[in-house]
C-alpha cells in the first residue's frame, strides 16, 4: 500500500519535534507534523523555559540583599516591572518557537498548523477535512492542566495562564502542593506577591523524599509564604477585584489571583484513539510498550501523553529512540530507570533514584545525610540550610538514591546522576577527593550512616 507520508506526528512539543526531525533529517523518512497551538509545546511555551526565566528574576532580590550584607551598600532593587519582563519573555519564546519550526523545515518535515485526529491505523484527518495517509502515526500531544470543577467554573488560572498575566496581583492563592505549585509560590513571593499556598495533604511535595520536602517547606515559610496544609477549597466566587474563596477550615478570604496547580493529565482523549481500540492507562495516558508502540501496531506515542515520566528530557529521548528504531534500523528502547529531576523552588530540590522511604520499602538501607548552613549565607547570618543525602544498599553497597536541597541543586544532581546511573557504590563516592570549599563536597565526605 502506498502512503502520503512515512510518518505523521500529532503534536509539536519536545517529543514530537525530536521524533520528526530525526526521522526526516537523519533517516530520510517522509514526515508531516501537525500542531494546533504554538510550536514547542508545554516546555518551551508554557513550562520549563518561561518558568526558569521567572526563577532567575525572582531570585535577584535575594542576591541583592546578600550583596548588601557582604558590604555592597549601594546594591538596591526597585519594584518589579512585570510588563517589561513579560515583553522580553515573549520575544524569547517567539525566538525559540521559530528555532523549533526552522529545525523541522530544515530537516524536510512538512509542518501543518492545524489540529489533527486519527481516523484509522493509517489515516489522519485535519481540521479542514483534508485526510493524510501514513505508514506510522505518532501521538505526542503532551499534557494539560487538571483543574477542579469549582475552580474551572470560577475562571481561576492554570499554570498555562500564569505567563500571560497582564499584571501581577498583590495577593495570590495557590491551590496545590506539587512541584508546580511550590515553584510558582517561590517565584511569586520573590517577585513581591503575598502568597498563600493551600494543600489538602499533610505536607507539600508528596512523592519526594520526606526529609527533603520538609526542608523545602521550612524555607518557603521563611520566605513569607503562608503554607496551609490539610486545607482545601469548598467554594469560590469571581469578583471584580479578584476571587472570594471559602476554605474547609471555615475561613472566607479574598485574593487578587487564584492559581490552581492541582496536577496535569495526559492530553490523550478526543484524538480518535478510543474508537480504534487503543488502550489507556489508569491515569488516562496512552498505554505503550518499551518501544513506545500502542495496542494498534502502526500507532506510537511518546512523552507526557503516555503517562510515564512527565519530563521534557524523557519526551525527547522517547522521540529520538522511536525514530531510530522505526526508521533508522537501530532499535533501542528508552531506559526510564534512574531519571534525575529538579524542583526549582528556593532552594532547589534535586533528586535521582529512590527516596529514603522507597528504599526502606524494598529492604534494608543505610542512609548518609547531613544538613548544614552553607558558607555563602551562613557568613551573613542566614538560617537557610542545605541537605546532602545518599541511600545505600548495605549488601551491594550501590547508591540507590541521592537528594540535594541547595541553591543550584538542579546543576548538582545532574552530575551525581551520572555516577549513580553507572552503578556507583558508597565506596566509589568515598574514594573521590572532595572539592573544597563547596557544598557538594559533603557527598563524598559522609563516612557514617545516620540511620
Residues marked as catalytic: 436
- Partners of residue 389 on adjacent β-strands: 369, 403
Q: Are 322 and 24 a contacting pair, CB within 8 Å?
A: no
Going by C-alpha positions, the residue among 186, 187, 154 that lies closest to residue 260 is: 154
> How many CA atoms lie less than 13 Å away from 3 in the CB half-sphere?
19
Q: Which three cell numbers stand for residue 178?
A: 506539587
Taking the CA atoms of residue 428, residue 433, residue 438 and residue 440 in that order, the dihedral angle to the nearest 10 degrees is: 0
Q: Which three cell numbers stand for residue 403?
A: 537528594
Burial of 335 (0-12, 13-18, 19+ CB in 10 A): exposed
Q: Are 116 and 8 a contacting pair, CB within 8 Å?
A: yes
d(CA 404, CA 181): 20
CB contact set of 444 (below 8 Å; sequence gap of 6+): 429, 430, 432, 433, 434
Amino acid at each position: 500500500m502506498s502512503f502520503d507520508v512515512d510518518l505523521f506526528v500529532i503534536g509539536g512539543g519536545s517529543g514530537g519535534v525530536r521524533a520528526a526531525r530525526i526521522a526526516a533529517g537523519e533517516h530520510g523518512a517522509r514526515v508531516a507534523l501537525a500542531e494546533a497551538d504554538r510550536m514547542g509545546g508545554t516546555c518551551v511555551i508554557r513550562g520549563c523555559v518561561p518558568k526558569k526565566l521567572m526563577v532567575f528574576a525572582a531570585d535577584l532580590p535575594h542576591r541583592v540583599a546578600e550583596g548588601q550584607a557582604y558590604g555592597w551598600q549601594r546594591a538596591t532593587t526597585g519594584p518589579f516591572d512585570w510588563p517589561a519582563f513579560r515583553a522580553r519573555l515573549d520575544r524569547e519564546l517567539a525566538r525559540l518557537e521559530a528555532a523549533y519550526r526552522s529545525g523541522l523545515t530544515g530537516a524536510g518535515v512538512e509542518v501543518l498548523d492545524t489540529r489533527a485526529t486519527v481516523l484509522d491505523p493509517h489515516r489522519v484527518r485535519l481540521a479542514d477535512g483534508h485526510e493524510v495517509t501514513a505508514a506510522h502515526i505518532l501521538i505526542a500531544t503532551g499534557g494539560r492542566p487538571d483543574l477542579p470543577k469549582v475552580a474551572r467554573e470560577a475562571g481561576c488560572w492554570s499554570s498555562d495562564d500564569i505567563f500571560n498575566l497582564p499584571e501581577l496581583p498583590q495577593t495570590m492563592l495557590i491551590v496545590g502542593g506539587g512541584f508546580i505549585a511550590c515553584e510558582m509560590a517561590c517565584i511569586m513571593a520573590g517577585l513581591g506577591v503575598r502568597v498563600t499556598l493551600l494543600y489538602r495533604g499533610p505536607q507539600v511535595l508528596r512523592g519526594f523524599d520526606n526529609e527533603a520536602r520538609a526542608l523545602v517547606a521550612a524555607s518557603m515559610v521563611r520566605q513569607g509564604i503562608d503554607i496551609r496544609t490539610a486545607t482545601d477549597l469548598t467554594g469560590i466566587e469571581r469578583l471584580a477585584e479578584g476571587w472570594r474563596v471559602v476554605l474547609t477550615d471555615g475561613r472566607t478570604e479574598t485574593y487578587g489571583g487564584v492559581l490552581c496547580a492541582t496536577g496535569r493529565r495526559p492530553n490523550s482523549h478526543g484524538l480518535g484513539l478510543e474508537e480504534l481500540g487503543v488502550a489507556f492507562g489508569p491515569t488516562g495516558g496512552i498505554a505503550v510498550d518499551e518501544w513506545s508502540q500502542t495496542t494498534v501496531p502502526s500507532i506510537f506515542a511518546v512523552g507526557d501523553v503516555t503517562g510515564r515520566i512527565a519530563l521534557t528530557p524523557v519526551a525527547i529521548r522517547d522521540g529520538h529512540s522511536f525514530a531510530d528504531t522505526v526508521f533508522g534500523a537501530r532499535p533501542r528502547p528508552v531506559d526510564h530507570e534512574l531519571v534525575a529531576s529538579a524542583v526549582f523552588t528556593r532552594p532547589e530540590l534535586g533528586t535521582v533514584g529512590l527516596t529514603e522511604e522507597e528504599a526502606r520499602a524494598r529492604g534494608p538501607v543505610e542512609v548518609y545525610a547531613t544538613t548544614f548552613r552553607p558558607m555563602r549565607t551562613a557568613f551573613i547570618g542566614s538560617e537557610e540550610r542545605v541537605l546532602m543525602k545518599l541511600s545505600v544498599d548495605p549488601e551491594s553497597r550501590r547508591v540507590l538514591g541521592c537528594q540535594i536541597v541547595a541553591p543550584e541543586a538542579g546543576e548538582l544532581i545532574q552530575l551525581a546522576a551520572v555516577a549513580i546511573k553507572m552503578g556507583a557504590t558508597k565506596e566509589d563516592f568515598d574514594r573521590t577527593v572532595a572539592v573544597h570549599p563547596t557544598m557538594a563536597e559533603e557527598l563524598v565526605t559522609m563516612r557514617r550512616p545516620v540511620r
